[in-house]
Structures are given as C-alpha cells and as structure tokens.
C-alpha cells in the first residue's frame, strides 16, 4: 500500500491501521469470515425462502390504498378535474387534486437539483403519465376503478420531446411558470481548459470525431416504487415505509417538504427489491401517500405499477455526445473534447449530489494521461419524464466512460493501430499515482496495463485476432469482432467538498455495539438493495475485531435507530460506510485494549493485537491472550476504572477523496451478415476494486452489472413518439435481457488497494455497468471496421447492425453462401450445380 499520498485532506485517526490493515491477498482465510473470505450471504436465507419483507408486504390495520390518475397527454393545460363519479363508488374515500395539496402547502416538492416539481399537476401537464389526481380507497382495486372515473378536461398543447428541437426558437415553452424562463434551456456547463485543448487540436497530427447517443434507459428494478405512510395524530409522528436507497436523506427532505419536524418523521426502508438509482429521488407518489394519511388519519399505501415505474420515475442517461480526440501519428493522445446535449425531461431532477450540474462527467479523460481536455454541456427541458438518475453508476461516469472508450477505438481504427496497443501508449503509468487529471480529479491508485494484460491473456486475444482475419479473407458469413474497454471508475461519493444532498455533506456512518456475551450489532447509514451489506460489513468488523462473522448482525434502513447516512448508490457504501465500519471497529479495538490490559493484568502498552489469531496478547507472552468475547464480558462486568462501561463506538466518515476502481473488459462477438444479429462468443471481465471483502459477492455484482451492460448495449431504450407518448414504457417494449441473452462470463481480478481507504477497498457494484457497454459496441464495430464502420448506436438492434453491414458492403444474402446437393430418391443428377 502506498504511503506517500499527497491528498489534500490529512489522513484521519484510525484511517491507516497501526498493524498495516488487512491485506486479504496475504491473510485471507483465517477462518472467521473476515476480509477476503467467500462468506455465504446472510440475507439470502430470508430471500430464498420467501421471507423477505418489502414495502408491498406491509399491511397496517385500517390501511387505505392510493391510485394515481395520470395524464394521457405529454403537454396539456388542466382545465377542470371532476372526482364526483369516483366518489360515488363504494369504497372510494377521497379524491385529491393539487387544490387539496395547496391547502397543506404540499402541492410542489423540490427535486435534488433545486427545481420544483408538481406533486399533483397544478395548471399544466409537462410529460405523459404525469400525476394529475389521486384516488384513495379501501382496496387497491376500487382505487383503480375510481381513478378511471375521475374526469379531467385538458387543453392539449404541442409537445416537444427531442432535446435539439426543444432549443429551437419556435419550440413550445414547457416551464412557463418559472420566472425568467423564456425557452427550454436549463444550463450550460463547461469544464477543463478550452484554450489549451484547442491548441492541442491545432497542433495534432491526427484528429477524429464521432457523434454518439447514450440513449434514455430506465433502471427498472424488479420491485417498483411504493410507500406506506402512517400519520399518528396521537404522537404527531409520520412513519413512512418506502422504497428508499437513502432513508435519512429522505427523512430530511420529507421534513422540509411537509413541515413536520425531522424528529417526528421516521423513514423505514425495509427489504428493497433492487434500486440501481431509481430509488434515490423523491417521487410524487410518496408525498401523495403521506399527505393522504395526514388528511385522513389512516395509513395509506401506494404501490406503483410497472408501466408507471418506467414511464414516470427517474430515467438514466439520455446524453447526445460528440467526442473528439487529437493525437500524434503514433497514437499518443494530446487532447480530448466533448460536447453534450442533455435531455433532462420536464423538470431538472437529476439525482446527483455532486457540486457540478453534470455530476462526474468531467472524468471523461478516463484511464489515459491526457494533458488537455475540455467539455461543454447544455441541459434542456423536454416534455418527457424527469430524471437523470445514476443508474448503477456514479453520476454520469457511465456516459463519460462510454465516450472515451468509444473514441479510443475510433482513433485506433483511424491510425490502424491495435486497440489494445493504443491503450498501452496512453495509460496513466502505474507509478504516476496519485494522479491529477486534466479536469481536476485526484485518482488514488491504478495499474491499468496489468489489468489489460490479464484480460488479453484470459481472452486469448491474439488467436481471436487471427480468426477474425481468417474470416474476413474467406468472406465468411459471420464476422468476428473484438472489443476492449479499459475503464476507470470514480466512486465513493464523496468528499464533502465535492458532494452533498440538500447541503448535507456526503459522509456516512457506522455504529458498533458489542454485547456482554460477545456478539455485536453494527448499524449503518447506507441501505442495501441486494448488494450484500449484511454480510460484507459484518466481515469488515469480523476482520477488525477477530470476531466470528456469524456473531455480527448488520442493521440498516430505519431512521429511528440507524445513525445518519446518505444512502447507497454510486458504489459508495464500501468506500464510505465500509470505511466508517472499519474505523468504528478500530475504535472499539482501542478500548478493548485497555480492557484486555485490565483482564490480563498487564500494562496497556504491552497489549498487542494479533490480526491473524484475532486475539490480544501480552507482548512476548502469546499464551497470555484474550479474545474479544472475553473482553466484551469484561467491559460490562469488570470494567477498568479508567474507562466507561460498555463496548461501543460510532464513526462518521467523510472520505478524503473518491476511490477509482478500474478494469479491462474484452468482448468477442459474432455478427450475422444476413440478419445483423449479434452473438457473444467470449466475455472476459477483469476488475480491480482494491482490497476485496467477499470475492463471491463481488463476482455476483460483476455478473449482474454485465447483464445490465448487455441490456444497455443491445436491448434497452425508453422511446417516445412525436406526440410525447412513451412507446417503450412497459416490459413488452422496454426489453430487459434474460438468462438467454447473457453469455458465460469469465471474471478475473487484480488488486490495487486504495491508499486512503481504511481497508484499501474501492467499491465495485457499478463497474460492470459502466465498463461493459463500450466494450460491446467496440466489438460490434470492430467486426465491421475493416470496411469503414466507425460507430453503431445503442441499443444495437439487428436492423441498426444490418444497416451498417449494408452500407459497408458487408451484408450477405443466404443464397450467396449455400448450395443444395440433391440426394433423395429416384431422380437423376444433382438438382443444384
């Protein structure tokens, strides 16, 4: 582990452990379920046996059900809402509109980008399926029947769904309620050094440019969003069980929106059936359920339907990007430029906590040592659902990685240099870390060439290159393409200086309490949605205290009991809350030392912690040892006079920097020249996330993320027609990959610890989603690049691929490569010459 860090923030107490910290590559397997061990997931028993507890499983006495009336139009003025026919139905309790919410000052809510979104439409609908009214009924079926009976009169307006068209002079004005808003333009942002970049381009031997769209996606967790709100008038307390990736942040926002004091708001996020960024924002449905419960003084449940989830909750991506690279004739990159048109939908509701309007998009120099970089970006309102959530990524790093990894391939093809070789010529050298990028990011550690070399070897790269050549020479009916992505990630949001939600800096927390009988409860401020926190965080504590992992339970998701945290997304849990867990455990260990001294009747300075055995012993007398279980008993039954009784510690951890996981993915595809269909031949993923806590969970994370990367590259797209109708808004039209679309993944790893993280870990969950789409697109392009193809847009539908084949003169008719030899029966001679 590097110790010559020059990070601006001083390393904190406990951040660097006095015994060098865990080094799982050396120490793993001391058998207590600590770092590096493949501990079976503690949470799986309840999931596999159907005993999970999701929001829709929660039933309360007297609970009502909420159904939302949504606009069929994308842009329309609401002239009148008549709920009387709904109220006539048996079982309908209330019909709520914006007017009702205005009475309680709940008609609007702030977005995470300081915009203001209607909870229920006040005056004007701005996207299809926007929330217009809500029907509250005794059961969910009646609520749905009632919603159909609410009569809404609309004056339909012209919509605009395309970001470029939205900027035209004659485009309809979407946000007329905003002061000073005369067009659909939201913001311009630029980053890097424009002048130096222009200079690099002017002097370059070669420049290449490519326009590419990162299409609108939806995170599409299997559990949709929902809430059960329960206002308790006896205690003036609001309890909301909801699908939340960030319960504490949501508590603060709920309190701000509702005016209920924060100590009287309890948010519980029970088991969450996938989040992927979808459950970071606050949605109108949550607020409506809470408002209805407050007004009616009964619990109210709201559960989204699938199509409501895809059509109205936070989308991801939707960046139209033009990239440019300037390089020497040897392929050394001297400058990179990017210009982006960002479709933000009807409200600026991007769920990203950085202090930059485009999140971490300015990481677009990627894994490469590029001196000059400049990016410009324009955000635009359109009549589409608001969003811009970080779908399994850190706030636009996915778009940035796609851009640079695609552009490097474009450059390689332009120069006729092997795409692996061109990466080698440009990687940030492993001895250059910590490294400051041209756009100001401090990379903690990396060894990019090592990961690439490993991936090339695992993929048997050279022999595929030969096979590719052979097929081209023989005019084979299936072409081979080999794609590489050597991505660098930026995760662990984040340092308070760079990241906050509603002003709250993005630290995270852990509270560790060791019981008298030697087991422990760790409470954390992050919220698992399938990441395996209940296991991995217990492993961190097991490692730091020499406890058995089975003796540690991890609790999360209830704001009444957990310490304040900012939630789980952007692979931040291990970098931030994982660090807090390690530091809290080290604080406990520190106190344990004095108890050990008391128990062993030795001086505290003579007590040594032995990571391998997980025990404390007297220096020079290993037999005089004591375990944490014995120490725990001592802490409660025989505490030394110098210490308080008990054995617990809390840590709030503000990371000094982001962490920078990386990896190299190699994808080999076969492209059918007759149909444009793409088949995966090989899929190698080498990841480096620093020190590894649970390799099995990491592999599971990689598999899931790669599947989502395949969905991105091949299948998924939220589409709209010109009238603003969502045409890709359900699972019949928004295509998720299944096991049949997923090839066998071959995973590998390298280990380059983060020098500033207490256990040297970096976070990994989003790497595969971020890193794989460019590898897949590069592979498909690579199959056709010998004929001049430079790009295929995602999702790479067969017709898009076939169009490229056709334009490049590569498309094939079945009759061109087959003949039929007659072989049956009495006829003379062959039927076919």
Partner 1 sequence: MKAAPFEHHEPTSLSKAVSLLESLDDPTILAGGQSLVPMLRFRLARPDTVVDINGIDELDYLDESDGYLKIGALARHADIEESDVVTENYGSFADAAPLVADPQIRNRGTIVGSIAQADPKGDWGSVLIAHDGEVVAEGPEGERVIPVDELFLLPYDTSLDENELITEARVPTPPEREGSAYHKLKRKTGDYAMAGVAARLRFDDDGTIADAGIGMTAVDITNARAADAEAHLEGERPSAELFQKAGELAAEQSNPESDEHGDASYKERMVNVLTQRALGDAAERAGVVKRRATP
Binding site for partner 1 (CB under 8 A): 67, 140-141, 144-145, 148, 305, 307, 474-477, 674-677, 714-715, 717, 719, 727-728, 732-733, 735-738, 740-741, 797-799, 802-803, 813-815, 817-827, 831-832
Write 7-11 long-range contacts (CB < 8 A, 24+): 7/434, 7/442, 7/656, 7/657, 7/756, 8/442, 8/656, 9/495, 9/656, 9/657, 10/656, 11/656, 11/756
* Separation of alpha carbons 569 and 552, rounded Å: 24
- Quick check: 350 and 113 in contact, CB under 8 A? yes
CB of 797 to partner 1, least distance (A): 6
* Separation of alpha carbons 597 and 631, rounded Å: 10
* Separation of alpha carbons 636 and 638, rounded Å: 6
* Separation of alpha carbons 34 and 552, rounded Å: 11
CB of 784 to partner 1, least distance (A): 16
Give the residue from 117, 114, 115, 95 showing the smallest Cα distance to 106.
117
- Quick check: 631 and 596 in contact, CB under 8 A? yes
CB of 613 to partner 1, least distance (A): 51
Q: Which is nearer to partner 1, 86 or 714 (CB)?
A: 714
Structure tokens at 231: 């206002």
Q: Which is nearer to partner 1, 173 or 808 (CB)?
A: 808
Give the residue from 808, 819, 483 showing the smallest Cα distance to 673.
808
CB of 305 to partner 1, least distance (A): 8
* Separation of alpha carbons 71 and 79, rounded Å: 12
Q: Which is nearer to partner 1, 357 or 709 (CB)?
A: 709
CB of 802 to partner 1, least distance (A): 6
CB of 707 to partner 1, least distance (A): 12
Tell me the angle at which helices 247-258 and 284-296 cross, rounded to the nearest 10 degrees. 60
CA distances from 385 to 131, 721, 725, 812 (A): 11, 13, 11, 41
Q: Which is nearer to partner 1, 95 or 420 (CB)?
A: 95
Q: Which is nearer to partner 1, 235 or 815 (CB)?
A: 815
Q: Which is nearer to partner 1, 368 or 734 (CB)?
A: 734
- HEC string of 185-213 equals EEEEEEEECHHHHHHHHHHCCEEEEEEEE
Q: How many CB atoms within 10 Å of residue 729?
A: 23
Q: Which is nearer to partner 1, 475 or 550 (CB)?
A: 475
Q: Which is nearer to partner 1, 650 or 719 (CB)?
A: 719
Q: Which helix (H) or strand (E) holds 704?
A: helix 695-710
Catalytic center residues? 245, 392-393, 766
CB of 287 to partner 1, least distance (A): 22
- Quick check: 401 and 485 in contact, CB under 8 A? yes
Residue 503 CB-density burial (10 A; 0-12 exposed, 13-18 middle, 19+ buried): exposed
Q: Which helix (H) or strand (E) holds 79?
A: strand 76-82
CB of 813 to partner 1, least distance (A): 6
Q: Which is nearer to partner 1, 142 or 398 (CB)?
A: 142
* Separation of alpha carbons 149 and 154, rounded Å: 15
Structure tokens at 151: 């009569």
CB of 315 to partner 1, least distance (A): 16
Q: Which helix (H) or strand (E) holds 161?
A: none
């Amino acid at each position: 582990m590097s110790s010559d860090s020059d990070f601006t923030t001083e390393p904190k107490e406990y951040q660097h452990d006095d015994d060098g910290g865990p080094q799982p590559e050396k120490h793993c397997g001391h058998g207590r379920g600590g770092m590096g061990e493949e501990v079976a997931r503690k949470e799986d028993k309840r999931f596999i046996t159907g005993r999970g507890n999701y929001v829709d499983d929660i039933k309360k006495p007297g609970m009502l059900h909420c159904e939302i009336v949504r606009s069929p139009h994308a842009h329309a003025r609401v002239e009148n809402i008549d709920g009387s026919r709904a109220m006539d139905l048996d079982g309908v309790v209330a019909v709520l509109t914006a007017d009702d919410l205005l009475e309680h000052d709940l008609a609007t809510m702030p977005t995470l980008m300081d915009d203001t979104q209607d909870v229920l439409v006040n005056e004007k609908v701005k996207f299809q399926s926007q929330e217009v009214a809500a029907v509250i009924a005794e059961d969910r079926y009646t609520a749905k029947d009632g919603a159909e009976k609410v009569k809404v009169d609309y004056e339909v307006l012209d919509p605009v769904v395309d970001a470029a068209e939205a900027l035209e002079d004659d485009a309809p004005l979407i946000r007329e309620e905003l002061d000073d808003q005369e067009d659909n333009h939201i913001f311009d942002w630029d980053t890097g050094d424009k002048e130096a970049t222009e200079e690099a381009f002017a002097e370059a031997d070669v420049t290449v440019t490519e326009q590419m769209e990162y299409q609108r996606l939806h995170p599409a967790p299997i559990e949709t969003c929902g809430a059960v709100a329960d206002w308790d008038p006896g205690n003036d307390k609001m309890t909301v069980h909801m699908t939340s990736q960030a319960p504490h942040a949501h508590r603060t926002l709920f309190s701000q929106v509702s005016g209920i004091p924060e100590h009287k708001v309890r948010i519980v996020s029970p088991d969450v059936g996938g989040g992927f960024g979808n459950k970071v924002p606050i949605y109108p449905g949550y607020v409506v359920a809470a408002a209805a419960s407050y007004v009616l003084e009964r619990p109210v449940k709201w559960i989204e339907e699938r199509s409501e989830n895809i059509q109205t909750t936070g989308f991801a991506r939707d960046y139209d990007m033009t990239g440019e690279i300037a390089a020497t004739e040897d392929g050394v990159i001297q400058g990179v430029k990017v210009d982006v048109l960002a479709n933000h939908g009807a409200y600026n509701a991007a769920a990203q906590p950085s202090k930059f309007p485009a999140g971490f998009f300015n990481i677009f120099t990627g894994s490469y040592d590029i001196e000059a970089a400049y990016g410009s970006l324009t955000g635009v309102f359109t009549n589409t659902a608001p969003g811009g959530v970080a779908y399994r990524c850190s706030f636009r790093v996915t778009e940035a990685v796609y851009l640079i990894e695609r552009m490097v391939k474009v450059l390689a093809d332009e120069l006729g240099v092997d795409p692996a070789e061109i990466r080698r010529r440009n990687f940030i050298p492993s001895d250059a870390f910590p490294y400051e990028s041209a756009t100001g990011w401090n990379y903690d550690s990396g060894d990019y060439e090592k990961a690439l070399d490993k991936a090339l070897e695992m993929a048997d790269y050279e022999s595929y290159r030969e096979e590719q050549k052979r097929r081209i020479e023989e005019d084979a009916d299936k072409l081979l393409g080999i794609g590489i992505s050597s991505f660098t990630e930026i995760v662990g949001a984040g340092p308070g200086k760079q990241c906050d939600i509603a002003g709250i800096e993005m630290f995270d927390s852990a509270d560790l309490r060791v019981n008298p009988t030697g087991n422990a409860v760790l409470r954390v401020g992050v919220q698992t949605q399938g990441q395996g926190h209940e296991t991995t965080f217990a492993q961190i504590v097991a490692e730091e205290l020499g406890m058995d992992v089975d003796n540690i339970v991890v609790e999360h998701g209830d704001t009444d009991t957990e310490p304040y945290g900012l939630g789980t997304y952007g692979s931040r849990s291990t970098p931030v809350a994982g660090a807090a867990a390690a530091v809290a455990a080290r604080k406990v260990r520190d106190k344990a030392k004095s108890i050990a001294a008391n128990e062993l009747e030795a001086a505290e300075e003579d007590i040594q912690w032995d990571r391998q055995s997980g025990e404390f012993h007297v220096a020079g007398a290993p037999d005089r040892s004591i375990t944490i279980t014995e120490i725990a008993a001592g802490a409660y039954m025989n505490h030394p006079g110098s210490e308080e009784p008990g054995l617990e510690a809390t840590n709030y951890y503000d990371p000094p920097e982001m962490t920078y996981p990386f990896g190299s993915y190699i994808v080999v595809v076969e492209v059918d020249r007759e149909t444009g269909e793409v088949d995966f031949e090989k899929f190698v993923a080498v990841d480096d996330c620093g020190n590894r806590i649970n390799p099995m969970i990491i592999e599971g994370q990689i598999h899931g993320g790669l599947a989502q990367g395949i969905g991105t590259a091949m299948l998924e797209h939220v589409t709209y027609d010109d009238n603003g109708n969502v045409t890709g808004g359900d699972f019949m039209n928004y295509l998720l990959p299944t096991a049949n679309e997923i090839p066998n993944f071959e995973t590998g790893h390298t280990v380059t610890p983060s020098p500033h993280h207490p256990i040297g870990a970096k976070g990994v969950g989003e790497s595969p989603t971020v890193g794989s789409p460019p590898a897949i697109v590069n592979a498909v392009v690579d199959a056709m690049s010998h004929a001049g193809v430079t790009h295929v847009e995602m999702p790479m539908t067969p017709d898009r691929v076939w169009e490229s084949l056709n334009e490049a003169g590569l498309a094939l008719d079945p009759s061109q490569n087959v003949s039929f030899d007659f072989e049956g029966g009495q006829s003379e001679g062959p039927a076919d010459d």
